[in-house]
Amino acid sequence: MSHPATVDNHHSDGLSLRYAYRPSTEAQLESLTAEHTCLSCGDKGQFVTGDLGPKKQMASLIYYRGAMKCQCGFMNFAYVIINDLPEEKKNQAMPSRVSIDKEINEGNIPDYRMEEFLQMSAACAHNEDFDEAEAYIKRCLEIDPDNQAALYNLGWLCTKREALQDAVQAYKKVESISDNFPSASLNLGYIYQEAGDYQNAIKSYRKFLNRYPNHMDARNRLTQCDKKLAG
């Protein structure tokens, strides 16, 4: 696996929408995803499950984001643009090359490095190389300091190495951007509860339960914290 400092000018097929696989036949579609290299162990095609998921569309691009779980346990994600498949061509889909250029020019395609680094980071974490995982996340945050997925992962990695203040900061920033990552509130609750800060733990669990009212663990923990404060 390449070090984050060296991957800026490098890309891997399938890891980003910009450098997605672009099959022109159904057979190619199958073999490309089946032969995808696992980011965690480096093996090819040792997938125990694979699912292309629903067909998606972004402006002129038609694509899948496949999820393939490797024998090593790592969940790989690969983009497959299908504009060039016969069926889509029949429906007047724009050729993939033209479509990608168009969507890049119109600012619709995210920075490919962001998508690659997030996956690299997840693979490093799966291999328990947490320093490297954090290095990839830091690179993401240099590109976009407000990327919620990167901030969320930073919070998780900081918790892992018990840098709890940094973790709290990262999760709070996730919360401040939007409520698309409710797990940030749950994880904040865990940290506060562990530290004996029951008031903040309660606030965090309530915020999470607003989104997932039936989450048993959060409900039990909220009750525990309420009892601590009452007692």
Question: Could you tell me the two tokens for 28?
Answer: 């190619």
Shortest distance in whole angstroms from residue 41 CB to Zn ion: 3
| Cβ-proximal residues to 221 (8 Å cutoff; 6+ apart), any chain | 189, 190, 193, 201, 205
CA distance 121 to 102: 29
* Nearer to Zn ion (CB atom), residue 73 or residue 86: 73
* Nearer to Zn ion (CB atom), residue 68 or residue 150: 68
Shortest distance in whole angstroms from residue 160 CB to Zn ion: 21
* Nearer to Zn ion (CB atom), residue 38 or residue 141: 38
Shortest distance in whole angstroms from residue 124 CB to Zn ion: 13
Query: Of 56, 65, 9, which is closest to residue 36 (Cα–Cα)?
Result: 65
3-state secondary structure of 177: helix
Shortest distance in whole angstroms from residue 77 CB to Zn ion: 13
Which residues of the shown chain bind Zn ion in the complex (CB under 5 A)? 38, 40-41, 70, 72, 74
Shortest distance in whole angstroms from residue 42 CB to Zn ion: 7
Contacts for 156-159 with beta carbons within 8 Å, 24 or more apart?
156/187, 157/125, 157/130, 157/133, 159/187, 159/191
* Nearer to Zn ion (CB atom), residue 41 or residue 163: 41
CA distance 75 to 69: 4
* Nearer to Zn ion (CB atom), residue 40 or residue 96: 40
